[in-house]
Amino acid sequence: KEVHEQTRQFLDKALATHRKNIEWADSRGVSTVWVEASRREAQKIADILARESAGDLATPGAAELTELELAPIPPAAGGYVPGRIDL
């Protein structure tokens, strides 16, 4: 039960963050792969929280990877890409 209470805090925070991302994007008419991922993840989290509130406690399972696909960043001209610390 204690684990569920701690997990709920993380889920509430994640949901709030996704909702802020969505609200910001909607207010500016922006739609990106990141915004759509936030929409999907917010719905998943809301569903989990609704089940938890109804007494259906989630049990641990395998991690689910989302299908977020991003194009790789092409290397800079000349093939040199500075390391993060160099930036």
pLDDT band of residue 75 (cuts 50, 70, 90) is low
Could you give the C-alpha distances from 63 to 14, 46, 60, 66, in angstroms and in order? 16, 17, 9, 10
Per-residue pLDDT at 53: 84
What are 65-74's pLDDT values in tens digits? 555 555 565 6
What are 2-61's pLDDT values in tens digits? 777 888 899 999 999 999 999 999 999 999 999 999 999 999 999 989 988 888 766 666
